[in-house]
């Protein structure tokens, strides 16, 4: 059991109603009168919905034990993404709706980590940075500097990132997956 005051971003716990919740943001709040409360932004792991709520700091929750396994992203067909465990060669089918954001950062045959709660697949973790090719962007401007305001570029996965003016279609870029931002040319 874990106190609400000890919950941090990234942790997963089981709510009293049985929902599996991941903490997106947590902060202590001391109103002018009354007791301290914990303000939290949470995501229901199974449905993908996010919501804000408050808890008393001394409320106790069962912390969920999340296991991760290395897998390879195979392909996407209709509304299902297919992954294969690199050790046991088991295949996992994950609804695209639950991993839509992560799929913007991974190419076929890329290595990812699949998260499990018991035998239930609950998510995919991508590396902190990935290399993607620019599929489409405006032509580069002659004399453009690194300090320019930038322009939007569509990557090969469909991700749209703001890039410097000198970047052209076909170039391979390093992208930060936590923020969805341009880091450098690869």
Query: For 148-165, what is each residue's pLDDT tens digit?
Result: 678 888 888 888 988 888
What residue ranges of the chain are covered by domains with CATH 2.40.50.140?
Answer: 67-125, 129-185
User: Pick from 35, 53, 33: which is nearest to 43 by CA?
Assistant: 53
Residue range 2-63, CATH number: 2.30.30.30
Cα torsion through 153, 155, 158, 161, rounded to 10: -40
**From residue 1, how far is each of 36, 41, 59, 60, 64 by CA, in Å?**
20, 20, 10, 6, 10
- 125/129 Cα distance (integer angstroms): 12
Residue range 129-185, CATH number: 2.40.50.140
> For residue 159, what pLDDT is reported?
87
123 forms beta bridges with: 115
Length of the chain: 186
Is 0.75 topped by the overall pTM? no
- 112/130 Cα distance (integer angstroms): 11
Q: Is the dihedral of CA 51, 56, 62, 66 positive or negative?
A: positive
> For residue 148, what pLDDT is reported?
60
The residue whose two tokens read 């000198």 is 166
All residue ranges of the chain with pLDDT < 50 are: none
Q: Give 97-102's long-range contacts (Cβ < 8 A, gap of 24+).
A: 97/48, 98/48, 98/123, 99/123, 99/124, 102/126
The CATH architecture that domain 67-125 belongs to is Beta Barrel (2.40)
> For residue 140, what pLDDT is reported?
66
> For residue 147, what pLDDT is reported?
58
């Amino acid at each position: 059991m874990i106190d609400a005051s000890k919950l941090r971003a990234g942790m997963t716990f089981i709510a009293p109603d049985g929902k599996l919740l991941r903490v997106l943001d947590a902060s202590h709040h001391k109103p002018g009168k009354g007791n301290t409360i914990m303000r939290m932004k949470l995501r229901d792991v199974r449905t993908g919905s996010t919501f804000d709520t408050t808890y008393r700091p001394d409320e106790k929750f069962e912390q969920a034990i999340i296991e991760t396994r290395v897998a390879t992203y195979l392909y996407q067909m209709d509304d299902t993404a297919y992954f294969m465990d690199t050790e046991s060669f088991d295949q996992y089918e994950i609804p695209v709706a639950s991993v839509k954001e992560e799929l913007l950062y991974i190419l076929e045959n890329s290595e990812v980590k699949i998260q499990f709660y018991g035998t239930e697949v609950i998510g995919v973790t991508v590396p902190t940075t990935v290399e993607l090719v620019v599929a489409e962007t405006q032509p580069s401007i002659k004399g453009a500097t690194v300090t320019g305001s930038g322009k939007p570029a569509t990557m090969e996965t469909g991700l749209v990132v703001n890039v410097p003016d000198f970047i052209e279609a076909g170039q391979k870029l390093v992208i930060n997956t936590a923020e969805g931002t341009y880091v450098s040319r690869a």
